[in-house]
Amino acid sequence: MRLFRLKSIVWLILVFVPTFSVFAQNPSTDVVMVLPFENTSNRPEYNWVGESFADALAELLSKPGLIVVSSDERELAYHQLRLPETVIPSRATAIKLARQARATMIVIGSYSVTPPPTVEEKNKDKAPTDAYVQVMARVIKVNEGRTLGEVMDGGWATRQFDYGAPLTTLQDIHGRLAYQILYQRDKALPYSQNQIVQEATKIPQKSFEAYVKAVQLPLNEPRRENYLKNAIHYYAEALGGAVYPQASFELGRTYMNRGNWKDATENFAKLQKKDPHYAEAAFYASLGYTKLGDYGRALATVVPLSSDLPLIGIYNNAGAIAVQAARENKVEAERSRLLAQGTNFLSRAAESAPDDPMVHFNYAYALFLTGKFEEAAEQLRAVITSDQKDGYAYFLFAKALTKTGKTEAATAADNQARRYMQTAYAKWETEWAKSQSTSSVNLRLRDVLNRNEVFDNIRNRRLSEVDTPSSTTQDLLVKARDLYQAGRDDEALPELHRVVMIEPTNAEAYLLSGRINLRRSDQEAAIAALKTAIFWDPKMIDAHILLGRIFLDRGDRGEARKYALSAISIDPNNQEAMALQRQVTMGN
């Protein structure tokens, strides 16, 4: 009898849980890198298609339990191995690239494009009307050095993905390929193919094509700006004025490369916290606001970023901008607040970067402005040791020593300042002699954010989230409910997946998943999730009622009646259960 019951439970799980496999072993966290696909059709005008796979799959494969090497990280790996980005690597080089990026899986592929027919060909019967693309892709497990597959008949059967479709449906191919890769890795995937395809096609086709073509061009290539402007225009036109964040970021980089900080900052500022590249965009937007003299916006942008991404470059800039804002402010109370804020940021940066002369110069100047001359001199010693020709550091060093009564040392430092500052010395010295002020001192800002540090920080945070979940299942459920109530189903589903990874028997997670799938008109997925909810909690009346409504809608009155009766038996006074019972009875 026990064996029979065990078999029954296993059967129920297999039947009822295509969406969430409650007994499936959660695969260990993988890091996947997608390389640009190889164009085998000898038509360079379609080279952008290969890059489109790398960019699109990098976003689509980013799901709970799987960390994706972004296109920017991939680009960095190419540079570190001194490989041209236009080169399609061999299998051995691809594995080498993956190891450089610390990836455990790589996606490689090739494609050929048949161009659209000529006018004469179009007039013939059954002639295709669009360019046609044929795609082949494989996934390689880096540590094993073999293609992803499964054991069949005692041997290893590799898995190859093949697709062919009109080029205008390229994003649909991206979605189907991403789904198959995810499903092949984890049969308990909590997403349907339709959901992944919807995600893949959310960017208008013309906009996506213009963007992919743009990012393959150098920053100083004039066509790059035109492509990006077209991508932004098509996106806004199709989606009611919405912002295309990736294109806005790349356009901002294009303007920044030319020194056009006004337009660069305007584009960087369009990105939201949820968008890819937000950290870099916020960093450069704050830098742009500073160069434009808008310290308020600069601080409002970089200070929150320092909490999300605690990097030396961000701390340095946050501190330097605050000190600069304090120096410009005429209200004493606000000036003191800003100076304290800047000093705090720079103190933390100096502790973390004992050998960074930029940080120590800024920290020294903040201490100098607060009257802590001895401490300022100590920081400046480190700067001068690093660069013995830094006349500006010598100048501040001399004044700090003077304030502490070390006249002889101050004179020696002043001589060095006079020697290395050349024409600027006279201006600085005149101001000091006149008002004991240093308005000519320029705070030293980091112009480039270390992308390697950014990627490492983001990846470590994701690994931490996967390996040691910081939230309880109840916290995750509350978050998922809030997202569901707000209509943000795509964000709610990953939270529910995390719940069942931690607690596979959580009936409420399956109930909410059923509601989401029902709202998406995916009745099969909804039925599976709701039946699983009932399996783990037979008294969950909402699941019985929803199943009854689904089967009533499908014309299956027998099943509808069954769930109506079970709902009534759980709570005879439940208004929704009574309404379902009446509907079923009226049908008879």
Q: Report the alpha-carbon distance of residue 255 to residue 291 in Å, rounded.
A: 14
Structure tokens at 53: 């796979």
For residue 226, what pLDDT is reported? 96
What confidence tier does 8 reach under pLDDT thresholds 50, 70, 90?
very low
What confidence tier does 297 reach under pLDDT thresholds 50, 70, 90?
very high
Question: Taking 60 as the threshold, does the pLDDT of residue 151 lie above it?
Answer: no
User: Which among 5-9, 93-97, 469-473 has the top mean pLDDT?
Assistant: 93-97
Average pLDDT, the chain: 85
For residue 412, what pLDDT is reported? 95
Question: Taking 60 as the threshold, does the pLDDT of residue 336 lie above it?
Answer: yes
For 503-527, what is each residue's pLDDT tens digit?
767 888 889 989 998 888 888 888 9
Question: Taking 70 as the threshold, does the pLDDT of residue 36 lie above it?
Answer: yes
Q: 25-186, which class in CATH?
A: alpha beta
Q: Do the first three CATH levels of 25-186 and 312-448 match, i.e. the same topology?
A: no
**Residue, of 185 and 420, whose pLDDT is higher:** 420
Using alpha carbons, list the distances in angstroms from residue 473 to 67, 420, 482, 540: 22, 62, 14, 18
Question: Taking 90 as the threshold, does the pLDDT of residue 63 lie above it?
Answer: no
Determine the average pLDDT of the residues in 362-373: 95
Determine the average pLDDT of the residues in 57-72: 85
Share of the chain above pLDDT 90, in %: 51
For residue 184, what pLDDT is reported? 84
Domain 312-448 has CATH 1.25.40.10: yes
Q: Report the alpha-carbon distance of residue 52 to residue 31 in Å, rounded.
A: 20
Question: Taking 50 as the threshold, does the pLDDT of residue 37 lie above it?
Answer: yes
Residues making up the chain, counted from first to last:
588
Q: Report the alpha-carbon distance of residue 60 to residue 107 in Å, rounded.
A: 13
Determine the average pLDDT of the residues in 323-335: 92
Give the list of residues 6+ apart from residue 499 with CB closer than 8 angstroms, or none: 473, 476, 477, 480, 506, 509
For residue 588, what pLDDT is reported? 53
Question: Taking 60 as the threshold, does the pLDDT of residue 156 lie above it?
Answer: no
- Sorted by where each begins, the domain ranges of the chain are 25-186, 312-448
Low-confidence winner among 62-66, 399-403, 462-466 (lowest mean pLDDT): 462-466
What confidence tier does 18 reach under pLDDT thresholds 50, 70, 90?
very low
Query: The tokens 């004039």 sit on which residue?
Result: 222
**Residue, of 268 and 16, whose pLDDT is higher:** 268
Structure tokens at 167: 């080029």
Question: Taking 70 as the threshold, does the pLDDT of residue 1 lie above it?
Answer: no
For residue 23, what pLDDT is reported? 29
Question: Taking 70 as the threshold, does the pLDDT of residue 62 lie above it?
Answer: yes
Q: Report the alpha-carbon distance of residue 375 to residue 104 in Å, rounded.
A: 48
For residue 501, what pLDDT is reported? 66
The sign of the torsion formed by the CA atoms of 407, 412, 413, 415 equals positive
Q: Name the amino acid, one letter, at 202.
A: K
Q: Provide the pairing of β-strand 30-34 with 38-39.
A: unpaired
**Residue, of 364 and 92, whose pLDDT is higher:** 364
For residue 227, what pLDDT is reported? 96
Q: Report the alpha-carbon distance of residue 536 to residue 440 in Å, rounded.
A: 71
Question: Taking 60 as the threshold, does the pLDDT of residue 113 lie above it?
Answer: yes
For residue 496, what pLDDT is reported? 85
Terminal CA-CA length for the chain: 39
**Residue, of 489 and 162, whose pLDDT is higher:** 162
For residue 9, what pLDDT is reported? 37
**Residue, of 541 and 9, whose pLDDT is higher:** 541
**Phi, psi dihedrals of residue 111, rounded to the nearest 5°:** -155, 160
